[in-house]
Amino acid sequence: MSQTAIPAEWIVDQVADALICADRTGNIQTWNPAAARLFGFSQAEALGASLDIIIPEHLRAAHWAGFNAAIDSGELTLQGRPTLTRGVHKGGGKIYVEMTFALVKDQQGVAVGSVAMARDVTERVEKERAARKAG
């Protein structure tokens, strides 16, 4: 039985979590179907757009400071650990997302962009908050 390599595009398109890749200027280069479901923007709307379309306005300054520092230094503060943050849906609603980040580097080790995996954890966070208030 011969093994045929699975095309990376199939994996990106079929993975359950949102996969978003941005170039070093923060413009979206990859936007999978799960990202479209999570954030409400079609692939056509998202590709080439700034990551600002999914970042709440009050978090943008902190996001860009961290993004630019990571791109410039080639190092991530979180080292791939998941982090809870807020996102914006196309309809304007805020969602809680758990995200992991990685830098995309070229053959010389220079950061050429970033990639994030995201999942909606809004329901979990709201249940935890309700339980804390009730307790």
Cβ proximity of 61 and 35 under 8 Å: no
**pTM summary value:** 0.90
Q: What are phi and psi of 54, to 5 degrees?
A: -115, 0
Quote the pLDDT of residue 29.
Answer: 98
Q: What is the 3-state secondary structure (H, E, C) of 6-30?
A: CCHHHHHHHCCCEEEEEECCCEEEE
Distance from C-alpha of 36 to C-alpha of 68, rounded to nearest angstrom: 25
Query: Is a pLDDT exceeding 70 seen at residue 2?
Result: no
Structure tokens at 83: 């982090």
Quote the pLDDT of residue 79.
Answer: 79
Q: Summarize pLDDT for 47-89 with one digit per residue, the tens.
A: 999 999 999 999 999 999 999 999 999 999 887 899 999 999 9
Going along the chain from its start, the domains and CATH numbers come out as 15-134 (3.30.450.20)
Quote the pLDDT of residue 78.
Answer: 81
